[in-house]
Structure 1
Amino acid sequence: MFDLSTRRIIIFLGIFLLNFTALIAQTQEEINALVMDVTNSEPLLGATVYWENEISSGVISDLDGRFSLKSSSFPRKIVISYIGYKTSIRTINKGDTAKELKFYLEPEDLSLDEIVIQARNPDAQIKSLETGKVTVPMATLRTIPALFGEVDLLRGLQLLPGVQSAGEGTTGLFVRGGSADQNLIQLDGAPVYNAAHFFGFFSVFNPDALSGVDLYKGNMPASYGGRLSSLIDVGLKEGNNEQIRGTGGIGSISSRLTLDGPLFSDKSTFIISGRRTYADLGLKFVGNEDISNNKLNFHDLSGKLAFRLGDKDKITLSSYQGRDYLGLDEEFGLKYSNWVTSAVWNRNISDKAFFDLNLYHSRYKYGVNFEDPDTGFEWNNKILETGLKGQWRLVNGEKIQTFWGFQSQWYHLAPIDLDPSPNSSIQGINTSPNNALLNNLFVGTTVEFSPKFSSEVGIRWGFYNQVGKGTEYIYQDGIASIDSPITDTLNFSTLQNMKFYQGLEPRVAFRYMINTSSSIKAAYNRNFQYLQVASNSSAGLPIDRWIQAGTYIPPIRSDQISLGYFKNFKDNRWEFSVEGYAKNFKNIIDLRNGASVLFTDNVETEILIGDGYAYGLEVLLRKSVGKTTGWLAYTYSRTWRQIDGVSMDVKYNPRYDRPNDLTLVLNHEFNTAWSVGLTFVYATGQAVSFPEGSYQLDNQLVPLYSNYRNTDRYPNYHRMDASVTWKNTQKGRKWRGSWNFSVYNLYGRKNPFSYEFREINNDDIKYNSSEDGPIVSSRPGIVMTYLFTFLPSLTYNFEF
Structure 2
Amino acid sequence: MLVYAKNHFWVPLFVCFVLFLAPTRSIAQQLSSIQGQVVDKASGEPLPGAAVYWEGNAEKGTVTDAEGRFSIAQPDPEGALVIRFLGFQSISRPIKKGSKTEGLQFFLSPEEWMLEEVVVSERSQDYNVASTEMGKNVISGQELKRIPALFGEVDLLRGIQLLPGVTTAGEGTTGLFVRGGSADQNLVQIDGAPIYNPSHFFGFFSVFNPDALSDVALYKGNIPAQYGGRVSSLVDISLREGNTNKLQGEGGIGSISSRLTVDGPLFSENASFVVSGRRTYADVFLPLSPNEDVRDNQLYFYDLSGKLMWRNGPKNKFTFSTYYGSDFLGLNGQFGLGWNNWINSFNWDRQLNERNYLDVTAYYSRYGYLISLRDEENGFDWSNHFSETGLKTSWTLIPGEKSEVKAGVHGQLYHFARVDLQGTPESGIEPLDSNPRTGFQFNLFLAGKTEITPRLSVEGGLRWGNYQQIGNGVNYLYDNNDPGGTGLVTDTLEYRLGERMQQYQGWEPRFGARYRIGEGTSIKGGFNRNYQYIQVASNNSAGLPIDRWVPAGRYILPIRGDQVSAGVFQNLNDNRWEVSLEAYYRDFRNIVDLKQGATVLFTDNIETELLTGNGWSYGLEFLLRKNVGKTSGWLSYTWSRVFREIPGINGGRPYPPRFDRPHDLSLVLSHQLSERLSFSGTFIYTTGIAVTFPAGSYLVDNQRVPLYSDQRNSDRFPDYHRLDLSVTLKNKDKGRWWQGSWNFSVYNAYGRKNPFSYDFRTIYNDDISFEPGPGESANSARPGVVMTYLFGILPSVTYNFKF
If the length of structure 1 is used for normalisation, what is the TM-score?
A: 0.96
Matched residues in 2 for 1:772 and 1:629: separation?
A: 63
CA distance in 1 between counterparts of 2:194 and 2:794 reads 33
Within a 5 Å distance, the mapping from 1:385-400 to structure 2 comes to 385-400=388-403
Cα deviation code 1:530-566 (max 9, x no counterpart)? 1000112111000001111111111010110000000
The separation in 1 between residues aligned to 2:569 and 2:775, in whole angstroms, is: 64
Native 8 Å contact 2:195 2:365 kept in 1: yes
The Cα offsets for residues 96-137 of structure 1, whole Å up to 9 and x where unpaired, read as 334421111111216545332211111110001111001111
Identity of aligned residues (%): 54
- Structure 1 position 122 matched with structure 2 position 125: yes
Query: How far apart are residue 773 of structure 1 and its match?
Result: 3.7
**Partner AA of 2:331 in structure 1:** L
The residue type equivalent to 2:34 in the other structure is: I
Q: What does the per-residue CA deviation read over 1:499-529, in whole Å, with 9 as the maximum and x for residues that have no partner?
A: 0000000000000000110000000001100
Match of 1:506 in 2: 509
The question of whether the paired residues in 2 share the 8 Å contact of 1:336 and 1:365 is answered with yes
Q: Secondary structure at the match of 2:383?
A: strand
SS at match of 2:148: coil
- Partners of 1:245 and 1:487 in 2: how far apart? 65
1:537 equivalent in structure 2: 540
- Please give the residue correspondences for 1:314-393 in structure 2 after superposition, counting only pairs within 5 Å: 314-393=317-396
Aligned to 2:253: 250
Q: Deviations over 1:687-724 (max 9, x none)?
A: 00111111223443221111111100111100000000
**3-state SS of 1:349 partner:** strand
Question: Equivalent residues in 2 for 1:268-347 (5 A)?
Answer: 268-347=271-350
* 1:755 to partner: Cα distance: 1.1
Asked whether the equivalents of residues 482 and 606 of structure 1 are also in contact (C-alpha less than 8 Å), the reply is: no
Q: What is the alpha-carbon distance in structure 2 between the residues aligned to residue 707 and residue 194 of structure 1?
A: 32
The residue number in structure 2 matching 1:16 is none
3-state DSSP of counterpart to 1:97: coil
Moved beyond 4 Å, runs of 4+: 23-26, 110-113
Alpha-carbon distance in 2 for matches of 1:446, 1:634: 30
2:16 — aligned with what?
none
Kindly indicate whether the alpha-carbon contact (under 8 Å) linking 1:667 and 1:675 is maintained by their aligned counterparts in 2.
yes
> What are the residue-to-residue correspondences of 1:160-239 with 2, within 5 Å?
160-239=163-242
| Residues 61, 401 of structure 2: 8 Å contact kept | no
Task: Say which SS state the counterpart of residue 756 (structure 1) adopts.
Answer: strand
Per-residue deviation, residues 161-200 of structure 1 (Å, max 9, x unmatched): 0001121011111000000000000000000000000000
What is the SS of the residue equivalent to 1:500? strand
**Contact in 2 for aligned 1:31/1:96 (Cα 8 Å):** no
Distance 2:736 2:517 in 1: 50
**Where does residue 704 of structure 1 map in the other structure?**
707
Q: 1:556-613 CA deviation, whole Å, 9 max, x = no partner?
A: 1011000000011000011100000001111111112121111111111111111111
Matches within 5 A, 1:462-611: 462-611=465-614
Output the CA distance in 2 between the equivalents of 1:701 and 1:24: 80
Q: What whole-Å deviation, never above 9, does each CA across 1:424-453 have from its counterpart, x for those lacking one?
A: 222221311111001000001112110000
Matches of 1:429 and 1:38, distance apart in 2: 58
Quick one: distance in 2 between partners of 1:592 and 1:635? 31
Instruction: Provide the rounded CA distance (Å) in 2 between the counterparts of 1:416 and 1:713.
Output: 37
* Equivalent in 418, 421, 425 of residue 424 of structure 2: 421
The alignment's C-alpha RMSD in Å is 1.4
Contact 2:27 2:400 (C-alpha < 8 Å) held by counterparts: no
In structure 2, what is the Cα distance between the partners aligned to 1:99 and 1:55? 21
1:120-165 deviations in Å (ceiling 9; x for gaps): 1111100011110011111211111010111100000000000011
* CA distance in 1: counterparts of 2:89 and 2:27, whole angstroms: 35
Maintained 8 Å contact 1:443/1:459: yes
Could you tell me which runs of 5 or more consecutive residues in structure 2 were left unpaired when the two chains were aligned.
1-25
TM-fit CA distance, 1:24: 8.3
Contact 1:110 1:672 (8 Å CA) reproduced: no
Q: Does 1:664 align with 2:670?
A: no
- Decide whether the 8 Å contact of 2:71 with 2:398 is kept in 1: no
Mapped to 2, the partners of 1:153 and 1:225 lie a distance apart of: 22
Deviates most, 345-354 or 426-435: 426-435
Q: Find the aligned partners of 1:113 and 1:300 in 2 and give their Cα distance.
A: 34
**Structure 1 pair 419/28, CA: closer, same or farther in 2 (3 Å)?**
same
CA distance in structure 2 between the partners assigned to 1:487 and 1:115 by the alignment:
67
Q: Please give the secondary structure, in 2, of the residue aligned with 1:430.
A: coil
The answer to whether the 8 Å contact 1:274/1:300 transfers is: yes
Mapped to 2, the partners of 1:71 and 1:498 lie a distance apart of 56
Equivalent residue for 1:757, pick from 754, 757, 760: 760
Q: Per-residue deviation at 1:29?
A: 2.5
Aligned length: 778
8 Å CA contact retained: 1:244, 1:262: yes
Question: What does residue 621 of structure 2 align with?
Answer: 618
Displacement, 1:417? 1.4
Q: Hey, what's the Cα distance between the residues in 1 that align with 2:224 and 2:105?
A: 29
Change (3 A) 1:147 1:261: same
> What's the counterpart of residue 735 of structure 1?
738
Residues in 2 aligned to 1:731 and 1:462: alpha-carbon distance in whole angstroms: 58
* 1:780 pairs with one of 766, 769, 783: 783
- Say if 1:26 and 1:72, in contact at 8 Å, map to a contact too: no
* Bigger relative CO (Cα 8 Å, ≥ 6 apart): 2
Residue type at the aligned position of 2:525: A
Q: Which amino acid aligns with 1:778?
A: A
Q: CA deviation at 1:30?
A: 2.4
Do the aligned residues in 2 keep the contact of 1:672 with 1:729 (CA within 8 Å)? no
CA drift at 1:244: 1.0
Q: CA separation in 2, counterparts of 1:117 and 1:657? A: 30
Look up the equivalent residue of 1:420 and give its one-letter code. Answer: G
Give the drift of 1:618: 0.2
The aligned residue for residue 23 of structure 2 is none
Distance, in Å, in 1 between the alignment partners of 2:116 and 2:337 is 51
Structure 2 counterpart of 1:453: 456
1:218-264, Cα deviation, whole Å (9 max, x unpaired) = 11011100001100000111101111100000000100000000111
**CA displacement at 1:342 relative to structure 2:** 0.3
CA contact (8 A) 2:470 2:499 kept: yes
Q: Is the 8 A contact 2:330 2:336 kept in 1?
A: yes
Q: CA deviation at 1:75?
A: 4.8
Q: Report the equivalent of 1:43.
A: 46
Report the structure number with the largest CA radius of gyration.
Answer: 1
After TM superposition, give the deviation of residue 71 of structure 1 in Å: 2.5
Alpha-carbon contact 2:120-2:139 (below 8 Å) kept: no
Match of 1:20 in 2: none
For 1:762 and 1:580, the matched residues in 2 are separated by 53
Are the counterparts in 1 of residues 270 and 311 from structure 2 also a CA contact under 8 Å?
A: yes
What is the identity, as a one-letter code, of the residue corresponding to 1:574? W
SS of 1:585's equivalent? strand
Quick one: which amino acid aligns to residue 358 of structure 1? Answer: T
CA contact (8 A) 2:635 2:668 kept: yes
Shift of 1:329: 1.6
Question: Are 1:643 and 1:651, in contact at CA under 8 Å, matched by a contact in 2?
Answer: yes
Aligned residue number for residue 13 of structure 1: none
**Matches of 2:61 and 2:392, distance apart in 1:** 32
Rounded Cα–Cα distance in structure 2 between residues aligned with 1:423 and 1:345: 54
**What is the CA-CA distance between 1:415 and the residue it aligns to?**
1.6
Aligned to 1:78: 81
